Chains A and B, each alone.
Chain A
Amino acid sequence: QTVVTQEPSFSVSPGGTVTLTCGLSSGSVSNNYYPSWYQQTPGQAPRTLIYNTNTRSSGVPDRFSGSILGDKAALTITGAQAHDESTYYCLLYMGSGFWVFGGGTKLTVL
């Protein structure tokens, strides 16, 4: 079974830029995996940030951007703010209606 990989944790300074990645245990992520990204703070439902690699969801600031970097999907946050401190999940489409979430990256802003 294919595993979707994310960094377990990451740290960024306020105002800094961070890139989180989403890969596969076997193979490369491409647009054909329709990568999407979700932000979740403790006790809250997830919030959609990015879908279809690089399309921002309604109301998401342009500090958040998605791309393919090498063989992985990537979420870049520029000008990190304290309230960006959250867990970020990627979701990949495996074909035939199947989806798999990554394990999530806990982002600390300090």
Chain B
Amino acid sequence: EVHLLESGGGLVQPGGSLRLSCAASGITFSSYAMSWVRQAPGKGLEWVSTIGGYGGATYYPNSLRGRFTVSRDNSKNTLYLEMISLRAEDTAIYYCAKNLGGAYCGGDCPYPIDYWGQGTLVTVSS
């Protein structure tokens, strides 16, 4: 059974930074691209980032590129999201998600999300 467990959320001041983690089990971790998706309070889902299985390729929406960095440690079956220069509008539940495939994503990574974690809440406030 696939299990994704996020951690690292909490309260951070505007301008601060935070690193989220996601521990995966039940899968051959390196065989799959992994993603982060967030949901602001009362709002819809927003794709945040994706990383290929062997970590060579990363993808972000233009609005988040430069402030958010996704990485992974396949030896620890763990996905990370480093966030800097945080703003109030980054307040959201951050979900870790497994993609359908994507061990070797390069210029293309067309593997949709098939499993989700329960999410971790990030609150940016003074």
Contact = CB atoms under 8 A, between A and B. Distances in A.
Contact of B110 (A34, A87, A100): A34
Contacts of B115: 48
Interface string B74-99: 00000000000000000000010000
A22 to B, nearest CB: 13
B110 A45 contact: no
Contacts of A64: none
A52 interface: yes
Interface stretch (A10-18, A78-86, A90-98): A90-98
A95 B45 CA distance: 19
B47 A99 contact: yes
B23 interface: no
Contact of A104 (B35, B45, B111): B45
Interface residues on A, range: 20 to 34
Interface of A is mostly: strand
Given A38-B45, A45-B95, A46-B95, A98 B59 contact: yes
Per CB-CB distance, the 3 closest pairs between chain A and chain B, nearest first, are A97-B59, A36-B112, A99-B47
Interface of A: 34, 36, 38, 40, 45-48, 51-52, 57, 87, 89, 91, 93, 95-104
Given A45-B116, A89-B45, 16 more contacts: A34-B112, A36-B113, A40-B45, A45-B118, A51-B100, A52-B112, A87-B44, A89-B44, A96-B107, A97-B107, A97-B108, A97-B109, A99-B35, A101-B44, A101-B45, A101-B46
